[in-house]
Amino acid sequence: MRLGPYELPNNLFVAPMAGVTDRPFRVLARRLGAGHAVSEMVTSRRELWQSLKTSRRADHTGEPGPIAVQIAGTDAAMMAEAAAYNIDRGAQIIDINMGCPAKKVCNVYAGSALMRDEPLALGIVEAVVAVCAPRGVPVTLKMRTGWCAAERNALRIARAAESAGVAMVAVHGRTREQGYGGCAEYDTVAAVKAALRIPVVANGDIDSPEKARDVLAATGADALMIGRAAQGRPWIFREIAHFLATGQRLLPPLTREVRAWLLEYLQDHYALYGEATGVRSARKHIGWALRALPDGERFRAEMNTLDTCDAQWRAVADWFDALADVHERLPLARTPAANDDDMQLTA
């Protein structure tokens, strides 16, 4: 899989998720099989670039390349300036956010709200490409199928973006109106893929190796972008890669492997966020890792009362030690059907 001058290890990408895909999460996902990871969105407002939140989001220390940064905003000149600023800080790929459905983003006409104003959306794309192209930095675009069911205009915007010089387009198979409700549809993704020469990425509801196979078949997409299914389960990337290559599912990871991954992640997380913020923001990541495990909800409630990083880390370590004494491998969230050939498990 190529993206501009970069050869990516595979076609399985981590979706940019605000408050989730920080540097520690991206590093872990790549280690566990993701071929590409895009940062959580960085604002185009200059006055916020030095804020603590933005500086953390723009932290790429020790991150393997290519480093992809997503920028968000509503003004073409400001977006171009933000692209240049992030390139100076190490970004090797710039991604434009036209997919975020959050109200606080859409209320200022950024994110997926840009799809309601096609001239503005194209103006932003052109301005960002004009800054990035002379530096050899590819520009990618993440969007939805449209604002609502009556305004599915992803195909028009994707064609215009390709003509303006965008190197890749990712399409989440929902409108902004849907948020994350209902089911993603892939016909729009397939139409975009059929119309474009540049790579097209399918996103939305890809939560298993079988679903990954089916979405690739339905859309003809060049790559898959996985978001919520990787929360608490970052090894999904290696599971999908193995299944697509062999037609068989991997065995669940060893419980002690998961323990080691999570504890290493937590140390990286604490180092980025510090004591007070780190212990609080880590709770959701630990909760995601526990949600499908035996007695996980009870422990999560107990863990959420701890207010130091050391106490939290030690509690997680001890809990997974106890789990590993009972389950060598992480307990499966679902049991394979007896006649499901696709669910054969391999070590």
Q: Note the pLDDT of residue 114.
A: 86
Tens-digit pLDDT profile for residues 81-130: 999 999 998 999 999 998 665 555 434 445 678 888 899 999 999 999 99
Domain stop point among 220, 250, 280: 250
Statement to judge: residues 91 and 182 lie in one domain: yes
Statement to judge: residues 31 and 72 lie in one domain: yes
Query: Residue 279: what residue type?
Result: V
Q: Is residue 9 part of a domain?
A: yes
Q: Note the pLDDT of residue 111.
A: 64
Joined together, the tokens standing for residue 322 give 């106890």
Q: Which of 22, 90, 58 is nearest to 268 (CA)?
A: 22
Statement to judge: residues 67 and 154 lie in one domain: yes
The rounded distance, in Å, linking the Cα atoms of 35 and 7 is: 10
Statement to judge: residues 104 and 67 lie in one domain: yes
Statement to judge: residues 14 and 41 lie in one domain: yes
The rounded distance, in Å, linking the Cα atoms of 11 and 33 is: 10
Q: Is residue 232 part of a domain?
A: yes
Q: Note the pLDDT of residue 101.
A: 55
Q: Note the pLDDT of residue 347.
A: 44
Statement to judge: residues 89 and 233 lie in one domain: yes
- Rg value, the chain, Cα: 20
Q: Note the pLDDT of residue 45.
A: 81
Q: Is residue 331 part of a domain?
A: no
Statement to judge: residues 148 and 277 lie in one domain: no
The total of other beta-carbon atoms located within 10 Å of residue 218's CB is 15
Tally of domains in the chain = 2
Q: Note the pLDDT of residue 332.
A: 64
Q: Is residue 157 part of a domain?
A: yes
Statement to judge: residues 51 and 90 lie in one domain: yes
Please give the positions annotated as active site: 100
Phi, psi of 61 (to 5 degrees): -55, 120
Cβ atoms 42, 93 nearer than 8 A? no
- Domain that residue 188 falls in: 2-250
DSSP 231-247: TT-TTHHHHHHHHHHHS
Q: Is residue 243 part of a domain?
A: yes
Statement to judge: residues 119 and 261 lie in one domain: no
Q: Is residue 336 part of a domain?
A: no
Statement to judge: residues 127 and 235 lie in one domain: yes
Q: Is residue 338 part of a domain?
A: no
Q: Note the pLDDT of residue 343.
A: 35
Percent of the chain's residues with pLDDT above 70:
91
Statement to judge: residues 162 and 278 lie in one domain: no
Using DSSP bridges, classify how beta strands 6-7 and 2-3 pair: parallel, antiparallel or unpaired: antiparallel
Q: Note the pLDDT of residue 241.
A: 98
Statement to judge: residues 50 and 165 lie in one domain: yes
Q: What CATH number corresponds to the domain at position 94? A: 3.20.20.70
For the chain, which ranges sit under pLDDT 70? 52, 99-111, 332-347
Q: Note the pLDDT of residue 334.
A: 46
Q: Is residue 275 part of a domain?
A: yes
